[in-house]
A and B are shown apart, each in its own frame.
Chain A
């Protein structure tokens, strides 16, 4: 069973607010990922990290930023939320190298009004 947590699970905020979505894992995994799942259920990679102090942008252009100061923590920040940011955000982690198992958190469902 995967030990990866996301908070909050649900969030409704107004346009222009700054928000941070939290993701933590207790498995000691080096690699972590953020995916955005749009209302049509498509999943897109927006950020990933190979380890502490490593952050990379994914395929989908995103106005969000991430940080990786600790192995277990990979928060995602939106400086100024817009309605187009309304989505489910899924965090995942995996071990180093070509480790096949990638475990997902329960997701944060964000609605921007």
Chain B
């Protein structure tokens, strides 16, 4: 698929909020996703948002969607050291059985 863009690195202090941004490409994507990957592990689904929504909140996670600009963001409140991982933004592909087109991932480092 075409490129889903994410910044590659983000460093925050423990207790601060983290915001990870993403721009996607396919305006027909039904769902947009955030996955988390810890070293040596598979992908953990954090949250997803339906394309006709603007915002979704789930405990410490807030997803904002700007469909006009094809911009997706993930805010993690009160970031903890255990949140250090790689975060992937993804869009669903209608023409590939709703397979996912991923960004390159944002490496989040949380420092004490």
Contact = CB atoms under 8 A, between A and B. Distances in A.
B97 A31 contact: yes
A33 interface: yes
A106 B41 contact: yes
Contacts of B93: 45
A94 interface: yes
Contacts of A101: 45, 48
Nearest to A107: B42
Interface residues of A, number: 29
Given A41-B105, A59-B1, A100-B31, A50 B97 contact: yes
Contact of A59 (B40, B45, B50, B96): B96
Given A42-B104, A43-B102, A90 B43 contact: yes
Most buried by A among B40, B44, B48: B40
Contacts of B40: 109
A102 interface: yes
A79 B77 CA distance: 47
A98 B98 contact: yes
Interface in B80-112: 86, 88, 92-93, 96-102, 104-105
B30 interface: yes
A50 B42 CA distance: 22
Contacts of A92: 43, 100
A45 B99 contact: yes
A41 B35 CA distance: 13
Given A41-B104, A43-B102, A98 B30 contact: yes
12 contacts: A35-B100, A48-B96, A49-B97, A56-B96, A59-B101, A90-B43, A94-B98, A98-B30, A100-B48, A100-B50, A102-B33, A106-B42
Given A35-B102, A59-B1, 20 more contacts: A42-B104, A42-B105, A43-B100, A45-B1, A45-B100, A48-B96, A48-B97, A56-B97, A94-B98, A98-B31, A98-B92, A99-B98, A100-B48, A101-B48, A102-B33, A103-B45, A104-B35, A106-B41, A107-B41, A107-B42
